Structures are given as C-alpha cells and as structure tokens.
Amino acid sequence: MYDPAQLRSIHLSRFGDEPAIFAAPGRVNIIGEHTDYAEGFVMPAAIDFATLAAISPRADGKVVLYSENYAEQREFEASSLPAERSGHWTDYPLGVLAVLAGEGHTIPSFSLSLWGDVPLGSGLSSSAAIEVATALAVTALIDVGYPRPVLARLCQRSENEFVGSSCGIMDQFISANAAENNALLLDCRDLTFRLAPIPASVALVIANTMVQHAITGGEYTSRRAQVEEAAAVIARHRPEVRFLRDATLDDLERYGSEMSPLALKRARHVITENTRTVAAAEALIHHDLKELGRLMAEAHVSYSQDFEASCEEADAMVELAQDLPGLIGARLTGGGFGGCTVNLVEQQHAREFAAALGQRYAARTGIIPQIHICHASGGANRVQESIQAVT
C-alpha cells in the first residue's frame, strides 16, 4: 500500500510547503525479456506497487532530494547539478534532471520527497518508477508537457546516459503509459502498442525469490553485448538487419557458426521470444489462457537455458508452481539473475496458490519469499488531493 496523504504530511513537515504529488507504478513483464533493446516486442503490465514524488518550489537556489525509504536528504545547487553518477540513490532523480537540462530546460530550485513500495532489486522496475515520478513532478513544476511516450524515452535516456544502465524502453514506457486491467504489447521500435485485456478472473501473483539483481551489473551488460554481437554477424550478410528484431532462426542456421557459442544462444532466445510475445498478446486478446500459459512456460525455459539469466531459486519458484490449483502460467520476470516470478492464476485460487507456493519455496530453499496478489494498474499520474490511500 502506498499512501499519498502520508507522503504529503512528511513533505509538509520537512519542508514547510504544500506539495504536488505524483505516482508512477512499477511493472511486471508477462512475457518478452531482453527483446526491448533488440527493437522487439514486450508485454508488461503496471502493478499496484508505485513510487510517489512530492514536489514544492524553493527560493534559495537549491535542489533538495529526500528519500523516505532511505531516510536520507541530499542538497545540490540547482545551477551546478552533478554531471555524472555517484552510485547513490540520488542518481535516479539527478539523471532525469540532467536529461531535462540537456533538452534546454532550466532546472529550478525545489524540494522533492520520494517514497515507494516497489521492492528494490526485485525485477519490478523500481528505478523506472522513480524516474517517471520525478519527471512528471519536475515537468509539472516548470510547466512543460511531454507526450507520455516521449517522457518515457527521456527517462530511459537518464538511466542509460547518467545512471549507466543499458536498459531498454519497456520499464519507463509501461510506467508512463499503462492502462488499468490491461497488459500492453509494445513494439520497441516505433513505440506503438496494443492493449491486451486481462480478464477479471485472472490474478497476477508475483513471487519474490528474495535474490536481488542489479541491472547495472556485469551479467546484464554482457548479455546485451552478446545480443549485439549476434546482430552484427547477421548484418554482415544482411545489412538490413540492425537488430535481432529483424533476424530469423534461419539466419542463425546460416550464420551462427560465425558467432561465439554464447552469442548464438542469446540470439536464439531473443528471436524466439519476440515470436512468443506477439503470440501471447493474441492469446490474451482472444482469451486463450491455455495457449498463454504454454507460451509463458516456453519463455521461462528459453530465459533459463538459452539466455542463462535465471538462477536456482527462480527456477525452483517456477517449478514449484506447476501443479498448484489455478495456475495458468509462470515464468521469471524482469532483467533476470534473481528477482520475481510472475504467475497468472485464476482469481478464485489466488490466495490458496500464494500460500502454498510460499510454503513450498521456503521448504525447498530455506528462504521465506514475499508473495503479492496484484492486478494490472493504470499509468503514472498526478494524485488528487481527495485520494487518501491506494492499495
């Protein structure tokens, strides 16, 4: 649960000024991993977890950032903000400010309070939620309006160029553009999308393995490099192929011997995952939940074996869900190497499913997981004063 009224009270007490409050959700990716930076397809949904940003103007030339989660405040001169990351949580809002400044906007003096309940390092995109909430708050303060796809791209740039993470566009896009009760099939090439309704009879059960990942780490970066290596090999023979979005399994048959074995495996995952993701959206649109579940299962095997971005705990979480009542499909979600699994479950069985999966996982691994029953939420927005709490 996140509580705008509580953040308003915190901000008012700390800074003495009435804030405007914005919320940006985290996300769960139902299918389509490591396809976004290959200009492919992804199918995420926003979830109930979010980051809140409370902002108010100042008159002393300072930008003051406060995190309720870290119980820490940092001050900067608005006219000379840091030009590079420091490895601190402030990198995420400062990165947004750096990109906005690069777009020609003068960064004013303000106080910004952040608070969120998106679990850090869980694969539910806490960083994108911070970026989008910050961007909405600051652009509102300076009275600048960006179309939501453009805002998402600016936030992606802040993470790529300032924070130093080579993430694709998916996380920021779904946080900014989500529609309640829908997944979103996003074409990462041109940012067009289709909504795929999630039936009211289906719950999103998110199971946190409690194994944290960091997408600024070496594993994520090496996987992306291997994907790009494979695309470059194919492009030598087919110059029109700039990204694996345009490649086929036939290309791997023809030119795979010119790639490193790891690049070949990564490419096979990305190419087949693109096909699965489009098929999964069609299955959801046509209410073919059996086919959706089959595609999710296939996607997890590919993610674990070809992309090698799973881990023992995540594989166990997926395995242990398979024979539980109500399961439609289960797979590891997010950047990989830990984090959460997403389980589509018949709503009537969701609580029983969550309890049983938690017990099984704890017995298998000795780790007590966090398991949440969620629904697909709407995208980032300004929080109305009348809203007291959102669950």
Residue 1: predicted pLDDT:
54
Residue 213: predicted pLDDT:
60
Residue 45 lies in a domain: yes
Residue position matching structure tokens 């400062």? 94
| Strand ranges in the chain using DSSP code E only, listed in sequence order | 20-31, 41-57, 62-67, 72-77, 110-116, 182-187, 193-197, 202-208, 327-332, 340-346, 370-374, 381-382
Residue 192 lies in a domain: yes
Residue position matching structure tokens 């036939």? 250
Residue 15 lies in a domain: yes
Q: How many CB atoms lie within 10 A of CB 373?
A: 16
Residue 49: predicted pLDDT:
87
Tens place of pLDDT per residue across the chain (391 aa): 568 999 999 999 999 999 999 999 989 999 999 999 899 999 999 998 899 999 999 999 999 999 999 999 999 999 999 999 999 999 999 999 999 999 999 999 999 999 988 766 556 768 899 999 999 999 999 999 999 999 999 999 999 999 998 788 999 999 999 999 999 999 999 999 999 999 999 999 999 999 876 554 578 789 999 999 999 999 999 999 999 999 999 999 999 999 999 999 999 999 999 999 999 999 999 999 999 999 999 999 999 999 999 999 999 999 999 999 999 999 999 888 888 999 999 999 999 999 999 999 999 999 999 999 999 999 999 997 533 333 3
CB-based burial label for 349 (10 Å; 0-12, 13-18, 19+): middle
Residue 43 lies in a domain: yes
Residue 313 lies in a domain: no
CA 283 and chain centroid, separation = 22
Say how many domains are in the chain. Answer: 1
- Write out the residue range of the structural domain in which residue 41 sits: 4-197
Q: Of 334, 351, 333, nearest to 342 (Cα)?
A: 333
Query: Do the Cβ atoms of 115 and 131 come closer than 8 Å?
Result: no
Residue 358 lies in a domain: no
* Sign of the dihedral through C-alpha 78, 79, 85, 87: negative
Residue 120: predicted pLDDT:
65
Residue 338: predicted pLDDT:
87
> What's the pTM?
0.88
Q: What amino acid positions are annotated as catalytic residues? A: 171
Q: What is the spatial distance between Cα 357 and Cα 353, in angstroms, rounded to a whole number?
A: 6
Residue 126: predicted pLDDT:
83
Query: Do the Cβ atoms of 98 and 160 come closer than 8 Å?
Result: no
Residue 219: predicted pLDDT:
83
Q: Of 98, 73, 317, nearest to 207 (Cα)?
A: 317
Residue 80 lies in a domain: yes
**CATH at 100:** 3.30.230.10
Residue 317 lies in a domain: no
